[in-house]
Amino acid sequence: MKNRIRNIFIAGLLVILPLSITYFFLIFLFRKLDDILAPTFKRLLLFFHISSDGYLVPGLGLFTMLAVVFLVGLITRNVVGKKMVEIGERLVAKIPLVRSIYIGAKQFLEAVTLSNNNIFRQVALVEYPRKGLYSIGFITGTTEGEVQLRTERQVINVFIPTTPNPTSGMLVMVPQEEIIPLAMTVEEGIKFVISWGVVVPKPDPETLSGLSSPLVPSPLQSTTPYDNLTKEVKSDGKETREAI
């Protein structure tokens, strides 16, 4: 009975605590931005001899911050903006303490947004770096060109991320039959890597039942089949392979 009550209480905490933390964090951020930007906006109105009464509404700081972020995004998407960012990053890289904070924050944000990137098609398990050891990998596509012709096998490109920063890692080309597909989404796979394997997604039994094949073909159907990359040519009774 005690265990049942405790489990029910813990289940309630697991729902309420994340919501409460999120709520109070947003309120803190909301008010902090108002405290920082509202006085600046007020001085700007006074500079143009405009009364600030009625203009300073709650949320003005947050709105201004979003507008600034959007404007910076527009600037950095052109050649001049990218060059300015590169110069700024080189200057930041020369400051010891600031460099560590900036690089860490940038890598974390890249890791968080990585799950929304379309380059990762599916999460898979591969034996890496040796037989008997398994690593989480993200399928990026089918291997094509010279690499495919040299291997003469259907090979898949798999990105093996590092932990806890999945923005770096190794690209390995794995034979299709050696890939173990996973039912977790790319976002869940990223969370698993970032958390050192602590955050484990709950498997869906119905989804797992459809993963008996070495590789789910659906993410790779849009790519060029490997059968079209080479063809057999018979010459003097001997079979050779040449690129098409």
Domain span including residue 86: 2-114
Q: What is the CA radius of gyration of the chain?
A: 26
What is the model's pLDDT at position 206?
64
The residues of the chain scoring below 50 in pLDDT are: 212-244
Residue 43 resides in a domain: yes
> Does one domain contain both 165 and 185?
yes
26 & 109 share domain: yes
Query: Does 133 lie in the same domain as 53?
Result: no
Residue 26 domain-assigned (yes or no): yes
Domain check: are 129 and 227 in the same one? yes
Is the alpha carbon torsion for 118, 100, 81, 40 positive or negative?
Answer: positive
Domain's final residue, options 88, 114, 140: 114
Label the pairing between strands 122-127 and 180-181: antiparallel
The total number of structural domains that make up the chain: 2
The model scores a pTM over 0.95: no
200 found inside a domain: yes
Q: In this structure, is residue 240 part of a structural domain?
A: no
- Assigned domain for 187 exists: yes
241 belongs to a structural domain: no
61 and 126: one domain? no
Residue 19, pLDDT score: 78
In angstroms, rounded to a whole number, what is the distance separating the alpha carbons of residues 118 and 222? 14
The answer to the question of residue 243 being in a domain is no
Same domain membership, residue 182 and residue 152: yes
Pull the structure tokens for residue 12: 């309630």
224 and 126 assigned to the same domain:
yes
Residue 73 and residue 133 share a domain: no
CA within 13 Å, CB half, 37 = 20
Predicted local confidence at residue 159, as pLDDT: 93
6 & 101 share domain: yes
Measured CA to CA, the distance from residue 114 to residue 164 in angstroms comes to 13
Domain boundary among 95, 114, 133: 114
Same domain? 96 vs 127:
no
Model pLDDT, residue 230: 40
With contact defined as beta carbons under 8 Å apart, do 221 and 139 qualify?
no
**Mind listing the pLDDT tens digit for each residue in 6-18?**
778 777 777 787 7
Q: Tell whether 57 and 82 lie within a shared domain.
A: yes
d(CA 188, CA 180): 16
Whether residue 15 sits in one domain with residue 72 = yes
Residue 110 lies in a domain: yes
In the listed set 62, 83, 114, which residue is the last one of a domain according to the structure?
A: 114
